[in-house]
Amino acid sequence: MSETIQLEQLLNEKQGVEEESRDLDEEQKQLKLKAKVLAEKIIQELRKKNNQKQQTVNQLQSKVGELENQLNNLSVSGVLGNTADESNGEEEAASQTFDEAMEETAEDNVTVTEVDEQEMEVDSKQDKKKRKLF
Q: Give the Cβ contact number of residue 125 at 10 Å.
A: 10
The CA-based dihedral angle spanning residues 20, 21, 26, 28, taken in that order and rounded to the nearest 10 degrees:
110
Nearest by Cα to 97 from 75, 69, 121: 69
Q: Write out pLDDT tens, residues 20-50.
A: 999 999 999 999 999 999 999 999 999 999 9
Model confidence at 107: pLDDT above 50: no
Residue 101 makes CB contacts below 8 A (sequence gap 6+) with: 63, 67
SS3 19: helix
- String of b and e for 11-25 (b: at least 16 CB within 10 Å)? eeeeeeeeeeeeeee
Q: Where are the domains of the chain?
A: 2-103
Nearest by Cα to 92 from 69, 74, 111, 114: 74
Q: Is-above-0.95 flag for pTM?
A: no
The mean pLDDT of 96-110, rounded to a whole number, is 55
